[in-house]
Structure 1
Amino acid sequence: MRKRDIAEAIIVNNKSEILLQKKSLDYPIIPGGYWSVFGGEIENGETPEQALKREIKEEIEFNINKFKLFRIKDYKLSVGFYGKRYIFEVLFDREIFNIILKEGAGFAFFNISEINSIKLEPLCLEILKEYFQEQQSLITKKRNKLK
């Protein structure tokens, strides 16, 4: 088993849709054809935030400015990796045509109702369910304060 900490991005647009990456068929860690969040390994000497910025720049040519830590979770994969997942919420404040895909087989924005109907990498599905549940909880709290 090899320790491999990773930084991942839940990239959200102004419609509360999540930007996901379709993994290429030859991707060695997640089965090809699955959808997942963008991100990757934290290199030696990098903070999770630095890795996040580097990975997103490498993968979709997007310089992120507005982001916050959402979760830190332990993970273990059958392909021999384990470590911590630093999951950030990232605001995408541009149009989709500004994305230049440099890694993966494709990308798309998905809303909450579409998430369960796509072939989503299991760890990603888990975190997106948590994310959407938390967002719904925040909306409910705001509505209750208005009453």
Structure 2
Amino acid sequence: MEKRDVAEAIIVNNKNEVLLQKKTLDYLTVPGGYWTVFGGEIEDGETPEQALKREVKEEIAFNINKFKLSKIKDYKLPTAFYGKRYIFEGLFDQEISSIILKEGAGFAFFNISEINSIKVDPLCLEVLKEYFQEQQSLITKKRN
């Protein structure tokens, strides 16, 4: 198994919907047709932040500037890769028409109930559920 650290982006709009990418059927590490967050491998000499910016630009031609590191998780894909996942939260503050899809089969914004009704990569789904639970906790704290 090969060590491969990755940078991933939970990109949200002002409605707290998450931007996801639909993988092509021939994609190797995520089941084809499944939805996942944007991001990818951290190349030699790159910081996780640099990799995130590069990957998002390569995949949807978006310059992500408003982001923060949310968490670091270990991962392991059987018979493939293992490493660290640097998970960032970022803000999408442009029109959706400004997105130019360069990789994958599609993209869309989803809220939590929609995410629960589509095929999402299991590793990604875990992180998205954590994100929405944390957001709900923040809302509850503000109300009290």
TM class, shorter-length = over 0.9
Which amino acid is the alignment partner of residue 50 of structure 1? Q
Partner of 2:2: 2
Alignment of 1:52-91 (within 5 A): 52-91=52-91
Which amino acid is the alignment partner of residue 46 of structure 1? E
Partner of 2:118: 118
Partner of 1:20: 20
1:52-91 residue CA offsets vs partner (Å, 9 max, x unmatched): 0000000000001100111100000014200000000010
Partner of 2:46: 46
1:28-57 residue CA offsets vs partner (Å, 9 max, x unmatched): 111100000000000000000000000000
User: d(CA) in 2 for partners of 1:56 and 1:79?
Assistant: 26
| Structure 2: stretches of 5+ with no match in the other structure | none
Which amino acid is the alignment partner of residue 8 of structure 1? E
TM-score under structure 1 length normalisation: 0.97
Structure 1 segments of 4 or more deviating over 3 A? none
User: d(CA) in 2 for partners of 1:64 and 1:128?
Assistant: 19
Calculate the aligned-residue CA RMSD, in Å: 0.6
Shift, 1:14, TM fit? 0.4
Q: Give SS of 1:20's match.
A: strand
Q: Give SS of 1:55's match.
A: helix
Which amino acid is the alignment partner of residue 29 of structure 1? T
Which amino acid is the alignment partner of residue 41 of structure 2? E
Aligned partners of 1:29 and 1:79 also within 8 Å? no
| Structure 1: stretches of 5+ with no match in the other structure | none
Partner of 1:107: 107
1:102-147 residue CA offsets vs partner (Å, 9 max, x unmatched): 0000000001111110000000000000000000001111111xxx
User: d(CA) in 2 for partners of 1:32 and 1:90?
Assistant: 25
1:6-31 residue CA offsets vs partner (Å, 9 max, x unmatched): 00000000000000000000101111
Which amino acid is the alignment partner of residue 68 of structure 2? K
